[in-house]
Structure 1
């Protein structure tokens, strides 16, 4: 993670762009990758939730192959891999849908949206899992980390909104191509 972060920072500096923009480009794709990657937990019959009945799984209208794979040593389990996979896929669709709406999000806020979205899902889904590491007896490590990341993202979002004014955008109407121009406040000169 540290090496990856350092590499992203180096890449942004080398290309003369902001790290926030690079993270905005990557964040939705990370959600899609996490959505796909959770199916590895399914194949390995790991990172599942607590015991449930077969009827419970059938009531979720799951395909038979998922129901059978969630039968581990004669006991059926919550398919938490599926919950997290679908949560991440939904987050990917939502973030990709809104990221081009310049009036809604500023640079860096797509990445913050990812952190907020993933943290919420992970906090609740982790509560169903049976293989978690605990901090004491009252909260799981992943839930504490999710809570910290959620609060941190809210704080960063708020600070960025206070410190960085919005950039005005316009379309010049040239064959549907949009040009982004930062409007200069001439009153300050």
Structure 2
């Protein structure tokens, strides 16, 4: 139900953007939007980081039923969060820096300035996978079962966390005149699109599709007979498909055959996830039974 609730809120938000109201005013650029949520003395807490941090709360709650089913102790999940979150953030920033190496070679100190955004989800996933493998080996846990516990939660956190991009006016699609086009102030417009004012909110498209994919994963999670790793494999399929589709409207450079690097990585993830799921279904270990 949590994923359906998030998806409903996101769809309602899209309706609100079109229909009007305070959100629509900020969305369409008729009302200033402060990227700083509040101040603690001289330090401003930005909406970007706050939204990402808050996304872990519902993600934690969603993980609990699968943790119990897998027979994991609460401490296992706590330790995974304490290890996986920082490793994911480091991986996310590192991959983003590598993707924009030309800029960061000239401005190396900016690599440490994450408050304005600049995180790669693929890098975050790589960090999270390393955390799962390390903890599973250290605690003698089933890494596939551990991945199943967090798979829907990670996708839910991604769906919610994407809203941090709204406040930074990033993860934008091409210019559009559609009613839900997002207004971007001139200083924040992508290079080469300074004359455009309204853009596809690619982050919103990804957020809605990811939330719907979470609902699908949670429905599949209720299957009485499934093998460890199936949820993680389907997560890889679902998110890869979402990202591949959203990239068609997102501003970026084509790498080959009209597709961006992220799309090629997503196709690889989709293929690996589908093959992994098929192998588990037909050649895997004995099925888990309630």
Q: TM-score, normalised by structure 2?
A: 0.50
1:34-73 map, 5 Å: 34-53=158-177, 56-58=178-180, 70-72=182-184, 73=186
**Misfit runs of 4+, over 3 Å:** 1-4
Partner of 1:5: 129
Partner of 1:78: 200
The CA distance in 2 between the partners of 1:19 and 1:168, in whole Å, is 15
Report how many residues are paired.
156
The answer as to whether partners of 2:234 and 2:274 remain within 8 angstroms in 1 is: no
Shift of 1:168: 6.3
Shift of 1:150: 0.6
Larger radius of gyration: 1
The CA distance in 2 between the partners of 1:25 and 1:124, in whole Å, is 26
- Which stretches in structure 1 are left out of the alignment for 5+ residues? 59-66, 170-179, 181-189
Partner of 2:244: 123
Shift of 1:121: 0.8
Partner of 1:90: 212
Deviates more, 1:145-154 or 1:6-15: 6-15
Shift of 1:42: 0.9
Shift of 1:119: 0.7
The CA distance in 2 between the partners of 1:33 and 1:17, in whole Å, is 24
Shift of 1:126: 0.6
The answer as to whether partners of 2:228 and 2:288 remain within 8 angstroms in 1 is: no
SS in 2 for 1:135: strand
SS in 2 for 1:57: coil
1:156-167 map, 5 Å: 156-167=276-287
- Which stretches in structure 2 are left out of the alignment for 5+ residues? 1-90, 92-125, 187-195
Partner of 2:153: 29
- 1:17 to 1:47, Cα distance in 2 relative to 1, 3 A: same
The CA distance in 2 between the partners of 1:114 and 1:76, in whole Å, is 32
The answer as to whether partners of 2:155 and 2:211 remain within 8 angstroms in 1 is: yes
Q: CA RMSD in A?
A: 2.0
Shift of 1:146: 0.5
Higher helix share: 2
Partner of 2:97: none
The CA distance in 1 between the partners of 2:128 and 2:250, in whole Å, is 28
